């Protein structure tokens, strides 16, 4: 996966995060930002998979499930986007995205935090 393609895709997604924040501002529930982001990603003609489920197993027995917010793809690359409404990026957000990357055998993720101070972006690499 070439670095420039990953950069290009993450740059597009970051632009979407800012565009949604610029239109809505701060103060809404995560689900409304989520819906706005989905609309903006689709406008960019990116392939978007929402609420991708993963079942965690031990000895082929399920022990839990979790859902990542978005898996976003262009013709060259893919990354995970996890959305939060919070004051800052917390360590548990990073651990969550690292687990998603590991489970889906992916290299790159973004955490987008809508805060009272603006959009906070954290890139996460597996």
Domain count within the chain: 1
- What confidence category does residue 65 fall into, taking pLDDT thresholds of 50, 70 and 90? confident
SS3 (DSSP) at 78: strand
Query: What are the tens digits of pLDDT across the range 68-93?
Result: 999 999 878 899 999 999 999 999 99
The answer, yes or no, to whether residue 95 has pLDDT greater than 90, is yes
Angle between helices 30-43 and 3-24 (to 10 degrees): 130
The CATH number of whichever domain residue 104 belongs to comes to: 3.40.1350
Domain range for 34: 3-125
Query: What are the tens digits of pLDDT across the range 14-28?
Result: 999 999 999 999 999
Q: Which residues contact 51 (CB under 8 A, 6 or more apart)?
A: 67, 68, 69
């Amino acid at each position: 996966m070439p670095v420039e393609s990953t950069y290009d895709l993450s740059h597009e997604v970051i632009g979407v995060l800012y565009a949604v924040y610029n239109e809505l501002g701060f103060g809404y529930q995560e689900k409304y930002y989520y819906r706005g982001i989905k609309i903006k990603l689709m406008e960019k003609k990116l392939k978007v998979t929402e609420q991708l489920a993963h079942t965690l197993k031990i000895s082929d027995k399920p022990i839990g499930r979790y859902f990542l917010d978005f898996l976003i793809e262009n013709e060259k690359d893919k990354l995970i986007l996890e959305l939060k409404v919070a004051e800052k990026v917390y360590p548990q957000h990073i651990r969550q995205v690292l687990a998603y990357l590991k489970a889906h055998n992916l290299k790159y993720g973004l955490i987008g935090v809508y805060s009272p101070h603006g959009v906070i972006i954290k890139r996460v690499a597996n």
